[in-house]
Structure 1
């Protein structure tokens, strides 16, 4: 393909990956139309307002800042120009069943080393070694894996990869849980180091220990927050995309990817919408849920990933969400608070094996009003509660008994563990969301909250690729494809689409800023 002026592209889906893809393609000289089925942009990174409260309905952790910095640099701007970031201290608070006092994870490495030492003698030294290893793994991932479409396996023979081959093999062959348990004995510390697996859509005993790199991000690099909430990130992505020339359309569901036959492989020629409109294009990018794009917009014979492929895959967890407007202050909670049950294995076993809502359940509570006065009226707090549950639309959506029961239990648990006995009585705004809402509102495969789990068989080059094998000029972006789950990964997936159009098989990020190309790649 060529990034030449006059080439046209349609991006299906207006989430973070879709917006980033539209922006990068437009900046590279493509004429781009983005089609979002909903009335607002953002996808999983949504927003909801009620009674003077404004809730982020999806992502709430800002990690891997260099990935955001690189994306905005590609677009000819900077993170500082587009977002107002603050560093959280504490990064998050951890409440553990059976322990009266929570522990705070600080904003810097030295303080966390001291914390680990205070909890477990020798834990500080162990954490130093652990974080050194995590940083090395993270740098290797950034340099050799995350910005690669794995079109050339020769990249895996880079001297640095070969030198670290035995180490990488060990990290891939044992679980994160085993890796952590060999270094730490205190269950609270093990949970702090194991919980990042949930960000990857899996559990510590299922995630390869290579993902211990995640602890570098929160324990050493720190957790940030964009003032105004994550809707400001969506706004920034839309702003830079439109500035580059992309046309962003909402309320336009796509129902079919059009193809043309002839000799050889069919080629994507555009899309059709539910309203009967046709958008012709030289390139189609499916940035919506990959299962939905493949199984509903293409005939079976043109599906690279048909239902039979998905039947053998792990959808990751679902989630019950509760957005709560609360009267009065809640200093007992940090901006981010994690609530860990004592029976860790039972909790994850319920979600991933027996597929039932855990009782009790580990949960996450975000209190952005601790940092941002714009998200709640004066004298009130904004709480976002997330309970990992099975990815099963049969559990229902907001208002269904199973969802309300899980939300009520999480509220009661938060009240008891954090020492806020009247929390439930102080709630003045409440909205709940369940797996069925993810399925109906976002076309999320199996009602999953994050995307396909990062187990070994769904990581790196084992994950769904970003190009159709059955249809030319059909590419993919988003959490369903490489490199994976999370806001930074979605930004990188957009760049991988652009690299495909340029014929760039390298593993390196593109030079910034982009210059619109008129030459064939």
Structure 2
């Protein structure tokens, strides 16, 4: 007679994408799973809010890339994304604004190729070669690298990975790699843009991450009607279908340990016992819930890490339409390296900033009142800097003036019907984000794979970490995969009732 595995009682701290994913996969294996979230609903950085005027704002992610990776999550539970929401393929995918012109990236890869050829003779063929290599990296990365727990480099020892090593361009920086293919600075900017999501200068990111160009440009840029939050709600529904219980407005204050085991959580001054804990909360913050001698990393370690930027965000409701504005617009009229220097070297507000504007009301009329626009403005910033309201407002005015110049719109400041800013201190207070970072650790070579913070506590064997500060890294698809990895680790954990691990 087959003996059933004992069911574990598992706590998940936080309900961002990694927490939702971890909870769903852990419950699918028959465990009793409880998710504790400090906010009133799920989503973490991907929360959504509605204003009295009728604007619907996604608070965080807005680029729906790598649709196949997201689809894989749903398929693991017998669903498809279109069982929950409608995905629209954006055309153009986005627009990039340069000092004297603009470039629109078409929906179809063949048209992107033609765009490159029109700008630089011969660049069409070089684009094909670049994307062929990027596709190879994407397929190897998604099949051989991304789902590993990264306890040891031994996990990456296989004939297939060894045979692919040279083609992955691990030791070449992304900027040099792009320069091999394209001369025109506008084309280089278009190709360098995707790695900004990885939180570092193209000079510091391995060329392996050209896989992002394939995951974005070749596979397309999408939008879930109703907003990015539809993905959060769909993942919550799947988790609940597996039996996951969500507890909102619950703040985890402490992780109690006994020997080498996390025994219980203190949540709003009450104690709850569990067999295992998965922390989807900020990694550094989670460790502050433990005694110092039981933490994986000390203060000096975190200070030595290269973090992805924080950012200044504005959620704006604008009366009247804004002509000639696309769903995604990148304002690159100024020098990228100058802005990056302010983030990583000088740690100050940028002199000549770049910024990003998302206007989902161009695609989805449901996110703004009739004849109005929903604008989400984002400007990358250094972590840990001062962000008082006066500084925020100064940059808001600059961003709106540049939108006016690009679109021909008039008096946007006077047409603001709703305004909310979000910056470094808000990331700290809402998400306990280390120094107010928005995107976790930068994916530099020295912070890749095994060199990232460990997914398991090395001193407490039933405490696991998931999310953008551990493997595989920042971004929505990687966070979903991170949750799956953490759940697999918990499912393999052998725990006996009343066990006292020495």
Fold equivalence (TM over 0.5)? yes
**Partner Cα distance (1:46, 1:4) in 2:** 36
Q: How does 1:18-167 map to 2 (within 5 A)?
A: 18-50=19-51, 51-97=53-99, 99=100, 101-151=101-151, 153-167=153-167
**Partner Cα distance (1:3, 1:124) in 2:** 58
Whether 1:293 and 2:289 are equivalent positions in the alignment is no
Q: 1:474 to 1:424 in 2, by over 3 A?
A: same
**Partner Cα distance (1:342, 1:401) in 2:** 23
Q: What secondary structure does 1:173 align onto?
A: coil
**Partner Cα distance (1:433, 1:3) in 2:** 49
What's the counterpart of residue 277 of structure 1? 270
What's the counterpart of residue 489 of structure 1? 478
Contact 1:19 1:238 in 2 (8 A): yes
Contact 1:393 1:439 in 2 (8 A): no
What's the counterpart of residue 367 of structure 2? 375
Structure 2 unaligned residues grouped into runs of 5+: 494-502
What's the counterpart of residue 267 of structure 1? 261
Q: 1:165 to 1:3 in 2, by over 3 A?
A: farther
2:347 to 355, 372, 375: 355
Q: 1:111 to 1:284 in 2, by over 3 A?
A: same
Contact 2:383 2:424 in 1 (8 A): yes
Contact 1:3 1:28 in 2 (8 A): no
Deviation at 1:20, TM superposition (A): 1.4
**Partner Cα distance (2:487, 2:123) in 1:** 44
Q: What secondary structure does 2:477 align onto?
A: helix
2:314 to 307, 322, 342: 322
Number of residue pairs aligned between Structure 1 and Structure 2: 490
**Partner Cα distance (1:250, 1:174) in 2:** 45
What's the counterpart of residue 10 of structure 1? 11
TM-score normalised according to structure 2 size = 0.95
Q: What secondary structure does 2:46 align onto?
A: coil
Whether 1:438 and 2:432 are equivalent positions in the alignment is no
Q: 1:151 to 1:92 in 2, by over 3 A?
A: same
Offset from partner CA, 1:474-518 (integer Å, 9 cap, x none): 0111111100101101110011012213449xxxxxxxxxxxxxx
**Partner Cα distance (1:68, 1:292) in 2:** 27
Contact 1:3 1:501 in 2 (8 A): no
Deviation at 1:40, TM superposition (A): 2.0
Contact 1:8 1:282 in 2 (8 A): yes
TM-score normalised according to structure 1 size = 0.91
Q: 1:5 to 1:420 in 2, by over 3 A?
A: farther
What's the counterpart of residue 180 of structure 1? 178
Q: What secondary structure does 1:41 align onto?
A: coil
**Partner Cα distance (1:6, 1:306) in 2:** 34
Deviation at 1:5, TM superposition (A): 5.1
Q: What secondary structure does 2:373 align onto?
A: strand
Deviation at 1:257, TM superposition (A): 0.9
Contact 2:335 2:352 in 1 (8 A): no
Contact 2:348 2:385 in 1 (8 A): no
Contact 1:364 1:387 in 2 (8 A): yes
Contact 2:9 2:275 in 1 (8 A): yes
Whether 1:343 and 2:332 are equivalent positions in the alignment is no
**Partner Cα distance (1:317, 1:48) in 2:** 24
What's the counterpart of residue 511 of structure 1? none
Deviation at 1:75, TM superposition (A): 2.1
Contact 2:107 2:220 in 1 (8 A): yes
What's the counterpart of residue 514 of structure 1? none
Offset from partner CA, 1:275-329 (integer Å, 9 cap, x none): 21122110101100101001x2001000002212101101210100011111122
Deviation at 1:196, TM superposition (A): 1.3
Q: What secondary structure does 2:386 align onto?
A: helix
Whether 1:426 and 2:420 are equivalent positions in the alignment is no
Q: What secondary structure does 2:402 align onto?
A: helix
Structure 1 unaligned residues grouped into runs of 5+: 505-521
Q: What secondary structure does 2:344 align onto?
A: helix
**Partner Cα distance (1:148, 1:392) in 2:** 31
**Partner Cα distance (2:133, 2:329) in 1:** 26
**Partner Cα distance (1:338, 1:240) in 2:** 34
Offset from partner CA, 1:348-384 (integer Å, 9 cap, x none): 1111111112122111100101111110001011010
**Partner Cα distance (1:60, 1:182) in 2:** 31
- Which is worse superposed, 147-156 or 112-121? 147-156
What's the counterpart of residue 225 of structure 1? 223
What's the counterpart of residue 365 of structure 1? 357
Q: What secondary structure does 1:195 align onto?
A: helix
Contact 2:323 2:408 in 1 (8 A): no
